[in-house]
Structure 1
Amino acid sequence: MLYKKVDLLKHHRKIFEMHSSDSVVVLTLVSIFFGKVSSMESSLLIDYTTRLIKTEQSIMFACSEQDMYLNVVQLMAANQFVQPVHINSSYDLRSVLTRNNYARTSVIVDTTCEGASKLLKEASANRYFNKTYQWLLWGVDMNINDLLPIELDYVGPNAQLTYVNKTKDDYCLWDVHSKGRQLKSPLELHLIARVSTEPHKLVIFKDIYELQGIKYRNQFNGLTLRGASVIDQEDIFTNQQIEAILSRPTKDSGVAAFIKYHYELLSLLRDLFNFTVNFRNSRGWAGRLGNTTFRLGLLGIIMRNEADIAASGAFNRINRFAEFDTIHQSWKFETAFLFRFTPDLDTHGKSGNFLAPFSRQVWLFILATLFGINSIWLLLDYLGKRWLSQAKQCIEERILNIKKTNNINLTAEKSTTKCQGNWTERILHTFGAVCQQGMEPIPSDMSSRSIVVTVFLFSVVMYNYYTSSVVGGLLSSSDLGPATVAEITSSPLKVSFEDIGYYKVLFKESANPIVTRLISKKLSASRGPNEMGVYGHIEDAVPYLKSGGFAFHCEVVDAYPIIAELFDANEICDLREVSGLMEVEILNWIVNKNSQYTELFRTAMCKAREVGLVERLLRQRQMKKPECQSLYTVYPVTISGVSSAFLTLLSGVLLAFFALCLEIASVKWKFRR
């Protein structure tokens, strides 16, 4: 029967659209048809929806069918899309208020109905008194504090509630909100408009959207909000202890840099809205109780609405967007391993290595070239010997013919055999030329001299490339040392971490193989009394960083001020960073999902960013890395760099012993024959 009458009303609306001049007459006939006048004044509803909040969709909760039908017809005649709901019937509020309604939506509630208190309680529990809907509470002959008792704790500064009461001659529309009913804050009322029925007249005192904006809701009058923060220290319980730690401009152990930054942002809001904060401390940010969904730490406090605001940021995680609202983003969370570069950390083996200037392919090509030169030289010697032997026979024959003395022949033989040598001499000659050590004796034939000149030219070119690369490598500061977490794990560096909660959570919960390998190789071994423990503070880690051979992982903005104060110019130039263990990301400043302070604080932080307050705080809190003022750093050659030279020398000695053994064996074999 209800749906048939609603269809009838829709049919009436089509008639009104075609015959707008007869609307008043038809509405009067409908009122007579129902036999009563609406308890909610229809003209006031029309003024509210069309002139004050300017909506195009209305949801009406009423208990009288006749009252509902008449008001629906009136609103539809005013070009409103109306959804009537019987307040005493069975309905699902979350299906009615879907937060996806077309354009602005007004919710009209007849609070004189029996089921009105249940509806308002459910709306408060599901957080519908926010910027999504405009609520009109018809509260004639009802007190506002009885209508919205203290138990309805979701009536905050973001509420869009309009309360209607009646005086002797007219109706008054009041804007209603509080600064936090969960904090026992009283309701605040501001007069929006007055509606007279005879004659009909609407007098607007203040624009409703101005009253619902930040201008009229930014004064908390010293209200104390519930706050939360993270300080990883023992015996921190009272608000005075927390405020004393967070307000100090210097670094405190167990306090992340972004904690104090968000505390300063909170101080901006505190000064702007005139409220105070009573903090509670948490030792960590996140976690779950066993295998349950019960959140621990700061996130659990915020999610359960046990705190209104937090002096901390939170990491971006997909599963958190359904549980928290973000009011601001500005802090770049960046952690890294900090260590001082020393030559023994050269992961590429180029610190002083005399083989490093040339790649393996170049060295192999040089050896192949020298082998080819020696082969050609020996071939030319062989061809030369054959030619000389033939020439010698011809000369001897001519000498016999002209009967010359043997003295001349002997002298000629010595002069012609002077430049002759075996293959070992040729190899030594080539090696001496390559090393630019000269050559003795100098070959007399043109072919051998051509080879010698070519070898010397080759040696000059290669030697210049070699020496310039060695000198440039030793004088440059391009050596970076380990560049990834895996290289840190494989390096001889001792590793420690700042004593703060998120590292302990990382090592406990991460299944990343890089983290697992780091734990097994660097953190599981026992440490001596003169070594820093696995967890420590930045002030204690700086002397180890200065001495080298040590890496400390922390939030880099915490370490830069201390490093700039205690490191000299050369040590600053040696400072290296390796990130990758934890993601670099922009932190979210979060509140509870659909918090009554979300829009208010978000608007205030946007304004603070526009006027430059956020940038000023970032410049103070996020110090840049100290710049290297030294032109260059000369790193000494380490034993690892010259080890290849000593290995070459040892190989030569072993080769000499092997050649000696071969010569001894050869001589013995000849004597036995």
Structure 2
Amino acid sequence: MLLLYNFILYNFLIMSKLNNILILHCWPEESLLRFAYLANTGNAYTNYMNIGTENLNRNKLLEIMIKHNLIKLGIFMDINCNQSDYILEVANSEQLYGPRLHWLIYDNGFSFQRMIKLFSQAQLYLNTDLTYVLRNPMNNHFILYDLYNKGKHIGGQLNITIDREIACTEIQCNLHRYLSSLYDRDRLQHRRFLTNLTLRMTAVVNTKPLNTSIEELLEFLESQNQINIDTYARFSFQSRKILMDILGCNFTYIFRDRWTSDDLSGGLIGDLWDSKADIAAAPFIYSPSRARYFQALTQFCSFRAVCMFRNPQSATAGFKFSEFLDPFCWSVWLVFVGVLLLAGILLWLTFRLEQREWKPSLLTSCLLSLGAACIQGAWLTPNSTGGRMAFYALMLTSFLMYNYYTSVVVSTLLGQPAKSNIKSLQQLADSNLDVGLEPAPYIKIYLETSDQPAVHSLYLNKIKNSKKSHDRIWLTAEEGVKLVRKNPGYVFIAEAALSYEFIRKYYLPHEICELNEILLREETVTHTLVLKSSQYAELIKLSELRMLETGIHFKIERYWVRTTLHCYQNNLTVVVGLANAGPLFIMLFCSYVVCFCILCMEIIWHRRQRLRQGNR
């Protein structure tokens, strides 16, 4: 027995690097005490359960095996004990041959056929960590075998790989020899090829009825034309085809018309949750409710649904009257006018103090001040040094103001078009803008089921309570993008990667710069998700990481998914002609009217003065 004790500790502490061990034994008490002493000396934390009696507590056994908080628990079982068959039955029914348990099963009889009989129908998995040990009666060496099944539920067979031979003495154990090449790679690398197996894959098809033949559906998913149709479904399906080549397996397909019905059940996600499928052809979002049952393997692609529209102001070329006043706010304009009036009064006082033969009036002095502001110079300047210095200050102030004003006007011509002041979903829901939507299932479901107040308000105001017909609300991505270009102020809600393809196709470069975007939901990243209990999780993760490292995935993604739009503002040529200067002529006309009115008032005034003088 001492040789067996040393081997058990050698396997767990040295080979498997585990110091938490459950011993399922039928040893006498004296032998058990001896092993406990050796385990304590080797810093092993052990728990013991006698399976030699019929009074075996199933609940306590399951509590130890399942409800532990360890990364991995080592379990030793003597297959020669009376209740060993019952333990194997419990392990099968409760699916205990998972990666969190390292099984070390000892058989003193050196019966290879018995090992096959016991585990040929057992629920072993690809990630099973089970070592079966036979004791060679010729030299008392221990022969180790690695047992696993790549997928019993899909027709996989029991795989038995001989590993190594361990020689033990009453003091220690040592490796005697390797019996295969299993030692030079870990278990997952040894099992990474799923040759001759057929995994169950669930796929999404939105644009074709599910009663379409499988051949037609596969042909559609494998095609590369019209990338705007079922973009994510076809992109992910073609990525999975490369994964199939890496794994060396085949796929059998389950087709659905949606990702899910209520976040977990129904559709593609429901097939994974109900264990009807081993892998999903399309990725999906890793939400808190799904995190209880699914694990994220690798990042697949970004997902962003947007509300896009063109600002009506930015869509019409040319200046508007307000743009000539925009460089300064009203307070600046008022202060500047006040400065010019003050400068005119000071100039008038200066001319009077200089005792000229002809003294200009106050109105003429103000006119000189306005001419300086308009960079028109002055035909009359003060003679005194102080007056000229004041005139220099006025001209310098006018020069700075004029240059700032013209630079703002020119930048308005060449700068980025003005964006809308609608920046949030709630503002969009309360606005009078017309809204259209892409009839994608994930957009429909999100609008109908979201608990966000802004999204709910948008759904009620623009969709549910809308007086427009159904055909005018739900449009294809191509139709919606064209309407946004044609009708400034029209809002279209679609997935960004899909709509960007049509924007690049139909929009001029400067029209792309005029687009406003409001996120329908926060930009998220989709992941490849599998059930937490999936035996293929680690293998799929490593295979997809390999695809990412080699760039295969990014090559496919760049073809199918458009994530950015390039705004070439310099491409827009602005011609300032008479049509653009219309507001200026209106202002000039108004000034002529004012001047004519003043002239009429002056004529009337002078006539009244003459009449008064004649009467005297």
TM-score tier, shorter chain, comes to 0.7 to 0.9
| 1:633 pairs with 2:607 | no
2:23 corresponds in structure 1 to: 60
2:295 corresponds in structure 1 to: 325
Question: TM-score normalised to the size of structure 1?
Answer: 0.70
> Displacement of 1:157 after TM fit?
0.9
Q: Percent identity?
A: 20
1:140-199 deviations in Å (ceiling 9; x for gaps): 56744653465x54x211111123457875765321111112223221111224579999
1:213 corresponds in structure 2 to: 187
The whole-number CA distance in structure 1 between the counterparts of 2:401 and 2:168 is 105
* 2:218 pairs with one of 243, 246, 269: 243
- Relative to 1, partners in 2 of residues 1:517 and 1:467: Cα closer, same or farther, differing over 3 Å? farther
The whole-number CA distance in structure 2 between the counterparts of 1:114 and 1:650 is 111
The 5 A counterparts of 1:615-654 are 615-623=554-562, 625=564, 627-628=566-567, 631-634=570-573
The whole-number CA distance in structure 1 between the counterparts of 2:378 and 2:471 is 59
The whole-number CA distance in structure 1 between the counterparts of 2:15 and 2:315 is 73
In the alignment, is the contact (CA less than 8 A) between 1:177 and 1:187 conserved in 2? yes
Which secondary structure does the structure 1 equivalent of 2:193 belong to? coil
1:437-465 deviations in Å (ceiling 9; x for gaps): 7889x699979998877666654543333
* 1:515 pairs with one of 446, 455, 461: 455
* 1:368 pairs with one of 330, 335, 338: 338
- Relative to 1, partners in 2 of residues 1:465 and 1:51: Cα closer, same or farther, differing over 3 Å? closer
- Relative to 1, partners in 2 of residues 1:648 and 1:122: Cα closer, same or farther, differing over 3 Å? farther
In the alignment, is the contact (CA less than 8 A) between 1:303 and 1:592 conserved in 2? yes
* 1:160 pairs with one of 105, 126, 129: 129
In the alignment, is the contact (CA less than 8 A) between 1:75 and 1:82 conserved in 2? no
Which amino acid in the other structure matches residue 20 of structure 2?
A: Q
1:472 corresponds in structure 2 to: 411
Which secondary structure does the structure 2 equivalent of 1:533 belong to? helix
Which secondary structure does the structure 2 equivalent of 1:617 belong to? helix
* 1:136 pairs with one of 96, 100, 104: 104
1:182 corresponds in structure 2 to: 153
The whole-number CA distance in structure 1 between the counterparts of 2:21 and 2:287 is 37
1:201-227 deviations in Å (ceiling 9; x for gaps): 955413666575233212322322121
In the alignment, is the contact (CA less than 8 A) between 1:231 and 1:254 conserved in 2? no
The 5 A counterparts of 1:17-166 are 42=5, 45=8, 48-49=11-12, 52-53=15-16, 55-63=18-26, 66=29, 69=32, 72-73=35-36, 76=39, 79=42, 80-87=44-51, 88-90=55-57, 91-97=59-65, 105-113=73-81, 115-124=83-92, 127-138=95-106, 143-144=114-115, 147-148=118-119, 150=121, 153=123, 155-164=124-133
Which secondary structure does the structure 2 equivalent of 1:318 belong to? coil
- Relative to 1, partners in 2 of residues 1:597 and 1:377: Cα closer, same or farther, differing over 3 Å? same
In the alignment, is the contact (CA less than 8 A) between 1:341 and 1:548 conserved in 2? no
> Displacement of 1:589 after TM fit?
0.9
Which secondary structure does the structure 2 equivalent of 1:176 belong to? strand
| Range that drifts further, 197-206 or 42-51 | 197-206
The whole-number CA distance in structure 1 between the counterparts of 2:63 and 2:574 is 72
In the alignment, is the contact (CA less than 8 A) between 2:422 and 2:428 conserved in 1? yes
The whole-number CA distance in structure 2 between the counterparts of 1:656 and 1:513 is 59
Which amino acid in the other structure matches residue 150 of structure 2?
A: K
* 2:541 pairs with one of 602, 611, 614: 602
1:68-100 deviations in Å (ceiling 9; x for gaps): 727834862883443112344324345313686
Which amino acid in the other structure matches residue 284 of structure 1?
A: R
* 1:269 pairs with one of 243, 263, 267: 243
1:8-59 deviations in Å (ceiling 9; x for gaps): xxxxxxxxxxxxxxxx9xx69xxxxxxxxxxxx6566456446654543321
The whole-number CA distance in structure 2 between the counterparts of 1:63 and 1:599 is 36
| 1:501 pairs with 2:441 | yes
In the alignment, is the contact (CA less than 8 A) between 2:306 and 2:493 conserved in 1? yes
1:319-367 deviations in Å (ceiling 9; x for gaps): 4333112221242334434455664469xx9997111122344223212
- Relative to 1, partners in 2 of residues 1:328 and 1:438: Cα closer, same or farther, differing over 3 Å? closer
In the alignment, is the contact (CA less than 8 A) between 2:182 and 2:190 conserved in 1? no
- Relative to 1, partners in 2 of residues 1:344 and 1:203: Cα closer, same or farther, differing over 3 Å? closer
The whole-number CA distance in structure 2 between the counterparts of 1:111 and 1:456 is 105
The whole-number CA distance in structure 1 between the counterparts of 2:604 and 2:61 is 107
Question: TM-score normalised to the size of structure 2?
Answer: 0.76
> Displacement of 1:308 after TM fit?
1.0
- Relative to 1, partners in 2 of residues 1:109 and 1:62: Cα closer, same or farther, differing over 3 Å? same
- Relative to 1, partners in 2 of residues 1:438 and 1:198: Cα closer, same or farther, differing over 3 Å? closer
The 5 A counterparts of 1:568-587 are 568-572=508-512, 574=513, 576=515, 578-587=517-526
The whole-number CA distance in structure 1 between the counterparts of 2:222 and 2:595 is 73
Which secondary structure does the structure 2 equivalent of 1:305 belong to? coil
> Unaligned 5+ residue runs, structure 2?
none
| 1:353 pairs with 2:323 | yes
The whole-number CA distance in structure 2 between the counterparts of 1:339 and 1:167 is 79
The whole-number CA distance in structure 2 between the counterparts of 1:128 and 1:649 is 92
Which secondary structure does the structure 1 equivalent of 2:479 belong to? helix
User: Which structure would you say has the larger Rg?
Assistant: 1
1:312 corresponds in structure 2 to: 282
> Displacement of 1:267 after TM fit?
2.0
1:383-407 deviations in Å (ceiling 9; x for gaps): 77xx99xxxxxxxxxxxxxxxxxxx
- Relative to 1, partners in 2 of residues 1:242 and 1:583: Cα closer, same or farther, differing over 3 Å? farther
Which amino acid in the other structure matches residue 157 of structure 1?
A: L
The whole-number CA distance in structure 1 between the counterparts of 2:130 and 2:588 is 89
The whole-number CA distance in structure 2 between the counterparts of 1:455 and 1:108 is 98
| Range that drifts further, 497-506 or 190-199 | 190-199
The whole-number CA distance in structure 2 between the counterparts of 1:321 and 1:61 is 34
In the alignment, is the contact (CA less than 8 A) between 2:231 and 2:560 conserved in 1? no
In the alignment, is the contact (CA less than 8 A) between 1:343 and 1:351 conserved in 2? no
Which secondary structure does the structure 1 equivalent of 2:444 belong to? helix
- Relative to 1, partners in 2 of residues 1:569 and 1:276: Cα closer, same or farther, differing over 3 Å? same
- Relative to 1, partners in 2 of residues 1:270 and 1:356: Cα closer, same or farther, differing over 3 Å? same
Which secondary structure does the structure 1 equivalent of 2:194 belong to? coil
> Displacement of 1:591 after TM fit?
0.5
| Range that drifts further, 635-644 or 104-113 | 635-644
Which amino acid in the other structure matches residue 57 of structure 1?
A: N
In the alignment, is the contact (CA less than 8 A) between 1:175 and 1:190 conserved in 2? yes
> Displacement of 1:270 after TM fit?
0.8
The whole-number CA distance in structure 2 between the counterparts of 1:519 and 1:351 is 37
Q: How well do the aligned residues superpose, as a CA RMSD in angstroms?
A: 5.0
The 5 A counterparts of 1:446-485 are 458-477=397-416, 479-481=418-420, 484-485=423-424
1:33 corresponds in structure 2 to: none
The whole-number CA distance in structure 1 between the counterparts of 2:535 and 2:574 is 61
In the alignment, is the contact (CA less than 8 A) between 2:71 and 2:100 conserved in 1? no
2:262 corresponds in structure 1 to: 288
> Displacement of 1:588 after TM fit?
1.7
2:272 corresponds in structure 1 to: 302
Aligned residues: 589
Which amino acid in the other structure matches residue 266 of structure 1?
A: R
The whole-number CA distance in structure 1 between the counterparts of 2:411 and 2:450 is 43
Which amino acid in the other structure matches residue 333 of structure 1?
A: F
> Unaligned 5+ residue runs, structure 1?
1-23, 29-40, 389-414
